[in-house]
Amino acid sequence: MNNVIIFPTDTVYGIGCKVCDKEGIDLIYKIKHRDKSKPLAILCANILQIEDIAYVDERIKKVINKFLPGPLTLILKAKENIKKITNLDTIGVRIPDAKLALEILLENGPMFVTSVNESGEESLDDYDIIYKKYHDKVKKIYPKTNISSHLPSSVVDFSKYDIIVLREGAITKDEILACLGGENANC
């Protein structure tokens, strides 16, 4: 059975499934025409869900407590349970700042999620357009209950000793560095 859903996040609409749903993961790649070499991010409802799937040290906790929920994706070392699913040593995790998204994540646990669009095209954020294009491909599409920022999340790699800001989005490099007190940051 298809358990892929589409729901609004704090940035744009996301298409996702539970992290343990291999068929759902494959379907997301198929629907988006996305190259399987491009990993999907994992959305979590809280720090406990992040700690279930990734290694979290004190500096990471500091950033999570300051900026999440919000538009920040952290690249972290994956725990063995997720490595078996993804075949990846690192994963991108985020806690969205959207009530409905958090409710869905609390109910389902961590989920692989990516923006709703054809790979390489602009993200879709209009319920009617999304419904028309995807209603027959997914289990459910949730209507929007929040205003999206349309800004991409910032991406920070914490998987090595040096912290690397890979993409500056809604949260700036300076804000991240200030939170960490400049420790081990390479921007």
Tens of pLDDT, residues 77-126: 999 999 998 888 999 999 999 999 999 999 999 999 999 999 889 888 88
Q: Is the model's pLDDT at 182 over the cut of 50?
A: yes
What is the C-alpha to C-alpha distance for residues 55 and 139, in angstroms, rounded to an integer? 32
State the chain's mean pLDDT as an integer: 90
pLDDT digits (tens, 9 = 90+) for 78-87: 999 999 988 8
β-pairing, 72-77 with 90-94?
antiparallel
pLDDT at 31 (0 to 100): 95
Separation between Cα atoms, residue 177 and residue 162, nearest integer Å: 12
Question: In this prediction, what percent of the chain has a pLDDT beyond 90?
Answer: 65
Backbone angles phi, psi at 183, to 5 degrees: -75, 125
Task: Report residue 72's pLDDT band, with 50, 70 and 90 as the boundaries.
Answer: very high
pLDDT tier at 144 (50, 70, 90 boundaries)?
Answer: confident
Q: Residue 147 has what pLDDT?
A: 63
Cβ atoms of 166 and 160 closer than 8 Å: no
Q: What is the pLDDT of residue 173?
A: 84
pLDDT of residue 183: 54
Whether 136 has a pLDDT exceeding 90, the answer reads: yes
The total number of structural domains that make up the chain: 1
Q: Angle 58-67/173-180 helices, nearest 10 degrees?
A: 130
**Per-residue pLDDT at 187:** 40
62: how many CB neighbours lie within 10 A of its CB? 14
Range of the domain at 105: 5-186
Which CATH number characterizes residue 120's domain?
A: 3.90.870.10
What pLDDT score was predicted for residue 150? Answer: 60
pLDDT tens-digit readout, 10-59: 888 999 999 999 999 999 999 999 999 899 999 999 999 999 999 999 99
pLDDT at 165 over 80: yes
Residue 4 or 146, more confident: 4
